[in-house]
Structure 1
Amino acid sequence: MLFTCSLCASPEGRIANRRITIEALWAQRHQCYTCRLLWDGVAAVHGDEFFKNFECLSIPWRSLKDTGPLRVDLIPHEKVTSSSIPRTRLQFYRGPNDTTAWPEIGASTHVGLNGLSHSTLELAHKWLKSCTLPGEGHSSCKAFDLKRSFLPARVLDVGTKQSPSVRLYLPQDGETAQYIALSHCWGGKTPIMTNKQNFQGHLQSISQPLPTTFNDAVLVARELGVRFLWIDSLCIIQDSPEDWAVHAPQMAKVYGGAYATIAADAAKDSAAGFLSGCRRHLSSPKTVAFSCDGHDGLVYVRKRGSLAYQLPYHDWSEPGRSIASRIRGPKEVVDRFCREQEPPESGLSTRGWVFQERVLSPRTLHFGGAETGWECRSLINCECSASSMRYHRKTSLLKRALSKMAWTTVVEEYTRLRLTFEEDRLVALSGLAEARKHLSNDIYIAGMWLNNLKRELLWRSDVPTAKSAVRRLDIAPTWSWASVTCPVVYEDQTATQSTGSTDTIESNWDILGFPNNTVSGTSSFGKCVAGTYLRMRGYLVEVNFWRDIDADPLHYYVQPNKRDSAILFQIFWDTSELESISASSDDEHTRYTVLLVTRAPAPPRGLLMGCPSENASQIPGTGEPHQKYQRVAYIVPPRRRRGCDWPDPEDTASAEGVNVQPEEWNWPSWQKNESLQEFRIF
C-alpha cells in the first residue's frame, strides 16, 4: 500500500495544491494511506454519503515552513450548490504533542467550546502579551504604557472573582490604569443603563444580574486580570443630552487608550451574550485513527472557523467591495462563487458606530459565534489559525483607517454601515476624525478635509441604494456626503482620465473659503450649522437635459446650448426625490448649472447644481452678484468598457452609448458656453 500517490501528492510527495474528484478519491482510498485519511476525515465530518453533495476536494498551496493544520476545501456539485450547501473548509491537524506520518498535517489546539475555555483564554493572554510588551515583534503596535493609560471620566469597577460586585467608578484627574472597552450592539431597548435617577446608586453598586452581554464582558475582564471596564450605556448618562454632548466626542480617547476592546460579534443585543457562541460546536473536531507503516496515531478534523471570512476587513479581500466586484469571470462563474460564500456573521461590524471603535482600538478581541479572533495594528488571527503561517496578509485592513487609508475609502466603507439614527451620521465618525486631525493637523469641514477637499467633493450616491435615500440638510450641506442617507462612492481616479490627460480634478476651479463657524454643538466634528457654504470659483455652464428612455435609467442627454448637439451622460442623483423633481419640471427640458471639474482633453464631468437663490449676495469688495447653488447630482460620461475579459454578447443594451470617443465629448460647445464665476454652494 502506497504512502502517497500521484492523485493526492505532488511529484515531490507533498500533499498540497491538489484538486481531487470524489470519484477518484473513492477508487484510490484502499491503495493509498493519504487518500484513505482524506476520505475518512471528510466522512467523519459530513457522513459516509458526503459524495452526494460534493464533487471534489481541493488542497490549497502551503509552504514548507507552514506548521499549521492542513486545509482541505470541499466543493459542491453544481446541481446542488445553494446557500444550504456552501463550499466547506476543513482542517486536518494533530495535537501539540502528537506526531503523524504526514509533515503537512501540523499541530493545533482545539477551538474552545465557549469564550472562557482554558485554551481560548490562554490564547487571548498570548495575543495580548505579544502586542503590549516591548520587543515582541509587533512593529506597528506601541508597547502598552501604563503611565499614559488615563482612565475615562467614568468606568465600571468589575471587582474580582473573590469580590464580584460591579459599580460605577469616577477616577481622579490623571488617574491611570488598564481598562477594557466593550463594543456591542444595543439591539433595541437596553435592560439597564445609567440615567439621572440611578446615577448616584450606580456609584455604590449596579444591581445584578447584568444583561448577559455586559456580564460576559465583566467575566472576560476579570479573567484577563483587568479591573476596569467601559460600557457606553452605563458610563454615559443616557437621558442627559448635555452629558452625551460632552462624552460622545471622547470616543477616540476611550477606545484609543483601552488595553483591549472586546467586540461582542456573537451578540445581537445586550441580552444575548457572546461567550457561548451558537456555532462553536461546529469547530468541535472529529477524531480519525490511522495506521501507516506500523505507526498508529490520531488526526483531528474540523470545520475551519469562519470568523476570518465573515468578519468585515478580517479576510484577505479588498475592503468594502461586494464579492461580485472583486472577481472576474463569466457570469455563471461569478454567480457560483457568490453562492459559495458564507453570509456575514458579525452584525456588530455592520453598525456605523462600531466602525470607528474597531479603527481606534489598538487591540481587539473578537468573540464570534464560532471562535475568538484577534485584531491589532500588526496582526490578525483567530483560534483555528493561531498555529498557521500567514503569507498573503497578516495585518488588519481596518486598522489602516487611522492614518494609512484614504479618507475617500473611509467614507465609502463607513456609509455602507447602518445607523439607528441618521442624525448620528457625522457624530458616529467624530472620534476617528479627531484622531486623524491630531495626526495630520488638517481642517475638518462637514466630514471632509480641506487639503483634499476638491477630490472629496466628487462623491456620488451609490445606485440603487440611493433610491431610498433622503436629503438631511439638518446634518450637513448639500455638497457633503453626510447630507444623504445612503452609501456614497468615489470614482476611481484612473477611470476619470483619458490617454495623455492630466489629473482631472486639478483643473481651473478653486475653493476660496468657508464660514468661520461650521459646526453646531460642542464638538468640532459633529453636525453642521444651517447655511454652511463653500465659496468657490469655477467654470459654470447652464445645461438642458432629458432622459434617454431607451437606455440605462441613469443616461440623460445633456445639451450645453440649444443650438448644439446633445451629449449622452450619466447623472447620479443624490436622492431619488431630486431626480423626481427634475423629471416633473414644467419646462420642455430641465435647466440646471454644471460646475465643470475637468478640462479638455479629459472627458467632461462636474457637479450638477440647481435651485439658485433669487437673492444673490455681493462678492465682497467687488459689488458683483454672488450666486447661490445647491448640489443635486454628479454628472459623468457613460463608463467606457475597459479591459473586459468576458463581454456578454447578449448584453447589447448596456453597451449602447458606452464607447464615447474624445471627439464626441464636444468640448468646443462646453467652452463657448462656460463662464468663470465666483459663487456659493450650500
Structure 2
Amino acid sequence: MSRCALCNDQVKRNEDDPRLAFDFTPEQLIQSAFDQTCDSCLVILEGLRQSETPDWSFRRDIRRVYARCRSTRGSIQDTLRLEVYYVDDRPKLELEYYSLQAHPWKGILPRTSISGHPLSSQASDWVLSLLEQCKQWHTSCQHSARPLLPKRVILLNSTGVPHITARLFEPINQRSPYVALSHCWGMQQKCITTKTSIKQRKANIPWKTIPKTFQEVMQLALKLGFRYIWIDSLCIVQDDSEDWEVQSSLMSEIYQNAVLTLSATSAAGDNEGCCSNNILRPPLEITLPEDIGACQIAVRNPLQHWDAHTANELQDYFPLLTRGWAFQERLLSPRVLHICKSELVWECREASLCECGSLGQNESPGGTYHHAVENSQEEKLLHDIAQQGLADRMHSLELEQPGIDPLLPTTEREGQGDVDAPPAYEDIVPASRTNSSLSSDVIVGPSTNDEDILAFAAQSNVPIYEDLTQADEADLKDCPELVFHFHRVVEKYSALRLTRPTDRLPALSGLCKRVQHLRNNFLAGLWSDSICYDLLWRVDTIDLCSETNGARSLDYRGPTWSWISVNSPVSYWSDITNFRDPYVPQSYGPGHWHNLAPKAIEYTAAGAHADKIEMAVTVPGQNPFGTVTSAILTISASATIGTLRYTYDPHWLGGGGQHDPVRYKLEIEIARQDAKENIEVPFHADYSLGAPGPSNVPDEAKLTLLLIHPKVCLVLRPAARDVAPMVVNGIVAWERVGIARISDALVMYYRIDWMSGSEVRKFHIV
C-alpha cells in the first residue's frame, strides 16, 4: 500500500533526510484524513480539532500548518510538532503530539507528563526520587552527607504555609545538609543583609518582606526536607567589603558542598517568583476512533528547552543562564534543580533530565566541568613526565652525536646535497596533519602516548625530528588539556552579563579556586603556567550594545592584556596548541628547490621563552582570584610596526563617510625580493578604536606588533594617562588594543616573512 501523499505516514522520505517536514491547509488535511483514509492525518486532525478554544476554529481561522518530526537534537529524537498560523496576525500556535504509552505511534514518540507545579506532590516525588538515585549510584556526585554549614544560612521552620518562619543563622562548626539558591537579583534588591539589618535578620525575617522568588524556594526546600538554605543576598553582608570579599571567595566550597542547588532559572528578578508563573494549558488526551487501534495520544504546547534556543533567546525564556554569577554556581554544584516556567529540570554530574523527557542533552555543564578537572590531574602528571623525559633524551642524543642538530631534516643530517629530484609538494606542505606514518629514521614527538617510540629512538640513536607538518595535531600539545578547557570556560563566561562590570573576576573566582591545585599563579584572568596561550584571546565581534557602546571602559577593570578589560565576548584559536612551530618557508630560485624545506626563523617569540616573562598583579584584598587594582606584564620579544586603517562601509549608518566601528585593517611593511611592500594582516580590535575618548586610536596610527606566537602578535600602542605617556620604572608603558594573526596562506604559499623588519624589544604592558 502506498504512503500518504501529504504526511508520508510520518516516515522520512529518505533515510538521509534530517527530518520529515510537510505542510497543509485545513482543507488538505481533512481531505487526506477522510477521502484518502490516512490514519496519521486523522490523528493530526483530531488533535487540532480537540485543541480548539472559543477563540479559534480549525476550519475558519487557520491559514496553514507546518509539521515536522523525527529530527534529532543531541541525544533526543523529536516527536511530532505543529506550527499553526492564523489567517490574521495573531501569534502562531505550537502543538506537540506525544504517546502516553511506552512505545511510539509512528512519528509520535513517548513523553512523560509534567507535574504542572514545582510545589506539587508529584514534583517533589520526582525530585526526591532522582536525588535518592543520585546519592546511591552516581560516584561523581558523592560528597559528605553532612557538610560543614557556611558561615551564615537561613534557618527555616514550618507548620505549613503561610506559617513559615525564617531567620539568619550563624552556625559554629555545625554539620548538616543544606541547599543553595542560584537566582537573578533583578533591578530591585530590597531583601538584603546589611550592617544595620543583620541583628534583626538573626531574630526574624518577616515573611511579608521576603520577595516572591525567595518565598517559593523556601517552600520547595521544606517540601524536599531541608531546613537550611544559603542565599547570597541574605547570607553575605552586602555593605561590608571585607565580608563580601571573604564570602564570595568561598563560593567554590559553598556550592560544591550543597546537597542541591535550587536554580530560579526562568525568573528575571527576585520579585517575580519562580514557581507560580505556569502559563501552559494542561495536556489534552485525544479521543480517537476505535478503528485506528489501541493508541493513547496527547497534545500539549511544547515545552521550552535551552538546548533549542540561541544565546540571544535565552534572556526571554531562561534569564538566569545569561548571568555571569550563575555560570560558576551551575558548574560547581554537584546537583542543580532548574525551576522553569513549565517544568523542572534536573542536572547532576552524571545525568541531565527534564520532566517532559525532551531535553536534548545527556551530560550537564557541571558534569563536563567536573570530569575535565578530574581527568586533568592524571593528564598533567603524564605530561610533566613526558616533557622531562623528552628533554633528557634530547640532551643525551646531542651528547652522543655532537655537531648534529636533531631538529634538522634527515637529508640535511646525512649531508646529501646531490639528490636527484625535489620532494613532492605534499611532503613539505601537506593538506592535513593527520593520518601520518612514521618513517624508519624519523620519530615524531613529543607525545604523552609515544613512550615506546621514544624508547626505541633512544636505543637506536635515531634523532628525534619534530615534524610539525605530519604529526597528529593531538600529539603536538605542549600543555595539558586543562589549559584549553579553561579557554572554553572563558569563551562561554565572557558572553554573559553582570550587573557590576567589576565583578568579572569575582564571579569566576570559585571555578578558578577549584583548579588552583593543578595550576600556578592566577594573574587577572590568566594563569602563569600558560601565560602565552592565555594571552592569545581575541574579540570576534565588538559589542556596540554594551554600557560603553563598544568603547574601552573609563573605569579600570584589569590590564589590557587580559580579557577582563573588554566588554565583548572573547574567543581563542583552537588550533594553537604549541609554540614549537618556528618554521617559515624561504624564498627559492632556479636550482634551489631544497630551500623549500622549513627553516627556523631567527625572531624571538615570547611564547618560546615564557619563563622569562615577568608578571606583577596587585589585588586589593586577600582573594587572589578577585578584583585587580594594577597589573604589569614585562615581555622581551621581536616587534615590528604596523599602520591602522579604518574601513568605510557605505551602508553603515546610512553612509555619510562614517567609518565602520567594528572592523579595522592593519598593514605592515615587509621586505620581499629586494623591495618593500605593504601587506594586510588579519586583525581583531579589542574595542571600537575610533570611538571618542582617551582610548581613541586615529586612522593611520602607527601600532606595534609584539610577537607572542610565530603567527600571532599582540597589537600595542603607548599607554597614556591624561595626555602624557604612562611611565613604569622609567620606561614608557604600553597597552594592548588588539591582536593579529598572519594567515597560513600568506606564509605557506606566498612565502611572506611578516617579521622581516622586526627587532627584539622590551615592553611593559599595563
TM-score (norm 2): 0.69
CA distance, structure 1, for counterparts of residue 277 and residue 197 of structure 2: 32
CA 1:80–1:366 in 2, change beyond 3 Å: closer, same or farther? Answer: farther
CA distance, structure 2, for counterparts of residue 499 and residue 28 of structure 1: 67
Task: State the 1:421 CA deviation.
Answer: 0.9
2:637 matches 1:542: no
Q: 1:628 matched to which residue of 2?
A: 733
Give the residue type in structure 1 aligned to 2:564.
A
Q: 1:435 matched to which residue of 2?
A: 514
CA distance, structure 1, for counterparts of residue 266 and residue 539 of structure 2: 31
CA 1:511–1:482 in 2, change beyond 3 Å: closer, same or farther? Answer: farther
CA distance, structure 2, for counterparts of residue 81 and residue 590 of structure 1: 56
Query: Is the CA contact 2:563–2:570 (under 8 Å) kept in the aligned structure 1?
Result: yes
CA distance, structure 2, for counterparts of residue 297 and residue 26 of structure 1: 21
The superposition leaves residues 262-316 of structure 1 with CA deviations (integer Å, 9 ceiling, x where unpaired) of 111232211111111242x24x11221113348667532112211x2xx3xxx27
Task: State the 1:495 CA deviation.
Answer: 12
Give the residue type in structure 2 aligned to 1:590.
A
CA distance, structure 1, for counterparts of residue 566 and residue 687 of structure 2: 7
Task: State the 1:479 CA deviation.
Answer: 0.5
Query: Is the CA contact 1:263–1:367 (under 8 Å) kept in the aligned structure 2?
Result: yes
CA 1:104–1:251 in 2, change beyond 3 Å: closer, same or farther? Answer: same
Q: 1:239 matched to which residue of 2?
A: 239
CA 1:365–1:514 in 2, change beyond 3 Å: closer, same or farther? Answer: same
Query: Is the CA contact 2:68–2:80 (under 8 Å) kept in the aligned structure 1?
Result: yes
List alignment gaps of at least 5 residues for structure 1: 324-340, 619-624, 641-658
CA distance, structure 1, for counterparts of residue 344 and residue 232 of structure 2: 22
SS at match of 1:597: strand
SS at match of 2:98: strand
CA 1:542–1:460 in 2, change beyond 3 Å: closer, same or farther? Answer: same
Task: State the 1:393 CA deviation.
Answer: 3.7
Q: 1:336 matched to which residue of 2?
A: none
CA 1:661–1:451 in 2, change beyond 3 Å: closer, same or farther? Answer: closer
Task: State the 1:506 CA deviation.
Answer: 8.6
Task: State the 1:51 CA deviation.
Answer: 8.7
2:702 matches 1:591: yes
Task: State the 1:198 CA deviation.
Answer: 2.4
Q: 2:329 matched to which residue of 1?
A: 357
The superposition leaves residues 419-475 of structure 1 with CA deviations (integer Å, 9 ceiling, x where unpaired) of 11111111111111111224x233211111223221211112342316524236632
2:348 matches 1:376: yes
CA distance, structure 1, for counterparts of residue 234 and residue 71 of structure 2: 49
Larger displacement relative to structure 2 (46-55 or 162-171): 46-55
SS at match of 1:217: helix
Query: Is the CA contact 2:144–2:257 (under 8 Å) kept in the aligned structure 1?
Result: no
Find the partner of 1:301 among 299, 302, 318.
Answer: 299
Q: 2:100 matched to which residue of 1?
A: 94
CA distance, structure 2, for counterparts of residue 127 and residue 167 of structure 1: 29
* Mapping for residues 403-414 of structure 1, pairs under 5 Å: 404=372, 406-414=485-493
SS at match of 2:487: helix
CA distance, structure 1, for counterparts of residue 42 and residue 697 of structure 2: 73
Query: Is the CA contact 1:19–1:58 (under 8 Å) kept in the aligned structure 2?
Result: yes
Query: Is the CA contact 1:556–1:571 (under 8 Å) kept in the aligned structure 2?
Result: yes
Query: Is the CA contact 2:19–2:69 (under 8 Å) kept in the aligned structure 1?
Result: yes
Query: Is the CA contact 1:402–1:436 (under 8 Å) kept in the aligned structure 2?
Result: no
CA 1:450–1:177 in 2, change beyond 3 Å: closer, same or farther? Answer: same
Task: State the 1:670 CA deviation.
Answer: 2.6
2:629 matches 1:529: yes
CA distance, structure 1, for counterparts of residue 201 and residue 31 of structure 2: 69
The superposition leaves residues 8-56 of structure 1 with CA deviations (integer Å, 9 ceiling, x where unpaired) of 15599x9x96434325643331213333112211343365249945443
SS at match of 1:417: coil
Q: 2:593 matched to which residue of 1?
A: none
2:667 matches 1:558: yes
CA 1:193–1:40 in 2, change beyond 3 Å: closer, same or farther? Answer: same
CA 1:499–1:535 in 2, change beyond 3 Å: closer, same or farther? Answer: closer
SS at match of 2:184: coil
Q: 1:59 matched to which residue of 2?
A: 69
Query: Is the CA contact 1:472–1:484 (under 8 Å) kept in the aligned structure 2?
Result: no
Q: 1:331 matched to which residue of 2?
A: none
Query: Is the CA contact 2:95–2:299 (under 8 Å) kept in the aligned structure 1?
Result: no
Task: State the 1:677 CA deviation.
Answer: 2.9
Higher relative contact order structure (alpha carbons within 8 Å, sequence separation ≥ 6): 1
The superposition leaves residues 134-181 of structure 1 with CA deviations (integer Å, 9 ceiling, x where unpaired) of x3xx35x3234314x1111110111133573211111121x2211111
2:618 matches 1:518: yes
CA 1:268–1:456 in 2, change beyond 3 Å: closer, same or farther? Answer: same
Give the residue type in structure 1 aligned to 2:352.
I
Find the partner of 1:422 among 477, 498, 501.
Answer: 501
CA distance, structure 2, for counterparts of residue 489 and residue 170 of structure 1: 42
Give the residue type in structure 2 aligned to 1:214.
F
Q: 2:441 matched to which residue of 1?
A: none
Query: Is the CA contact 1:509–1:536 (under 8 Å) kept in the aligned structure 2?
Result: no
Q: 1:484 matched to which residue of 2?
A: 566
Give the residue type in structure 2 aligned to 1:117.
S
Task: State the 1:480 CA deviation.
Answer: 0.5
List alignment gaps of at least 5 residues for structure 2: 373-483, 586-597, 651-658
CA distance, structure 2, for counterparts of residue 612 and residue 81 of structure 1: 59
TM-score (norm 1): 0.77
2:137 matches 1:119: no
The superposition leaves residues 174-226 of structure 1 with CA deviations (integer Å, 9 ceiling, x where unpaired) of x2211111111111222322222222222222112221111101100000001
CA distance, structure 2, for counterparts of residue 52 and residue 236 of structure 1: 54
CA distance, structure 2, for counterparts of residue 583 and residue 248 of structure 1: 32
Q: 2:718 matched to which residue of 1?
A: 611
Give the residue type in structure 2 aligned to 1:226.
F
Query: Is the CA contact 1:194–1:235 (under 8 Å) kept in the aligned structure 2?
Result: yes
CA distance, structure 1, for counterparts of residue 614 and residue 737 of structure 2: 20
SS at match of 2:159: coil
Give the residue type in structure 2 aligned to 1:564.
K
Query: Is the CA contact 1:151–1:179 (under 8 Å) kept in the aligned structure 2?
Result: yes
CA distance, structure 1, for counterparts of residue 697 and residue 606 of structure 2: 34
Give the residue type in structure 1 aligned to 2:703.
Y
Q: Tell me which structure has the larger Cα radius of gyration.
A: 2
Q: 2:477 matched to which residue of 1?
A: none
Give the residue type in structure 2 aligned to 1:678.
K
Larger displacement relative to structure 2 (260-269 or 549-558): 549-558
Give the residue type in structure 2 aligned to 1:527.
T
Question: RMSD of aligned C-alpha atoms?
Answer: 4.2
CA distance, structure 2, for counterparts of residue 153 and residue 275 of structure 1: 28
Query: Is the CA contact 1:245–1:521 (under 8 Å) kept in the aligned structure 2?
Result: yes
Query: Is the CA contact 2:98–2:110 (under 8 Å) kept in the aligned structure 1?
Result: no
Task: State the 1:80 CA deviation.
Answer: 9.0
2:133 matches 1:130: yes
Query: Is the CA contact 1:158–1:227 (under 8 Å) kept in the aligned structure 2?
Result: yes
Larger displacement relative to structure 2 (445-454 or 25-34): 25-34
SS at match of 1:670: coil
CA distance, structure 2, for counterparts of residue 242 and residue 486 of structure 1: 30
CA distance, structure 1, for counterparts of residue 29 and residue 91 of structure 2: 24
CA distance, structure 2, for counterparts of residue 594 and residue 59 of structure 1: 53
CA distance, structure 2, for counterparts of residue 568 and residue 609 of structure 1: 17
CA 1:455–1:53 in 2, change beyond 3 Å: closer, same or farther? Answer: farther
CA distance, structure 2, for counterparts of residue 166 and residue 145 of structure 1: 25
Q: 1:470 matched to which residue of 2?
A: 552
Task: State the 1:542 CA deviation.
Answer: 2.5
CA distance, structure 1, for counterparts of residue 697 and residue 265 of structure 2: 49
CA 1:485–1:102 in 2, change beyond 3 Å: closer, same or farther? Answer: closer
Query: Is the CA contact 1:57–1:75 (under 8 Å) kept in the aligned structure 2?
Result: yes
The superposition leaves residues 290-347 of structure 1 with CA deviations (integer Å, 9 ceiling, x where unpaired) of 13348667532112211x2xx3xxx278xxx769xxxxxxxxxxxxxxxxx8874011
Q: How many residue pairs get matched? A: 600
Give the residue type in structure 2 aligned to 1:42.
L
CA 1:261–1:549 in 2, change beyond 3 Å: closer, same or farther? Answer: same
Task: State the 1:590 CA deviation.
Answer: 1.9
Give the residue type in structure 2 aligned to 1:350.
T
